[in-house]
Amino acid sequence: MRTFVLAFAATLIALPAAAAEPQLKKGPGLDKVEANCQACHTLNYIPMNSPFLNAAGWDAEVTKMIKAYGAPIDDADAKAIADYLKKNYGV
């Protein structure tokens, strides 16, 4: 019973954090970002990293997600994602 109570309490604590996705800037490619990036991690990383990444940095991040982490993103979507990030969150 104690395990159940602890698991239930942990779930209640984690749910608000999981639901708190940021409202990203509207623009071409946002649908690709939401569909592909959010499948593996929170979108909070985008505004969090935006003060540090220029166009080359966003290109490298998208490439890293595909090549190093195995994100199943096709070339067209990868380009749309990188273009969106560079335009809306680049330094």
* Full-model pTM: 0.76
Please count the structural domains in the chain.
Answer: 1
Residue 16 lies in a domain: no
Measured between alpha carbons, how far is 57 from 39 in angstroms, rounded to an integer?
A: 21
Residue 50 lies in a domain: yes
- pLDDT tens for residues 12-57? 565 555 557 889 999 999 999 999 999 999 999 999 999 999 999 9
Q: Are 61 and 41 in contact (CB under 8 A)?
A: no
Q: Which residue did the predictor score with more confidence, 17 or 3?
A: 3
Residue 78 lies in a domain: yes
Domain with 74, as residue range(s), is 22-89
For residue 9, what are the CA distances in angstroms to 13, 41, 55? 6, 23, 42
- Domain containing 39 — which CATH number? 1.10.760.10
What was the pLDDT predicted at 76?
97
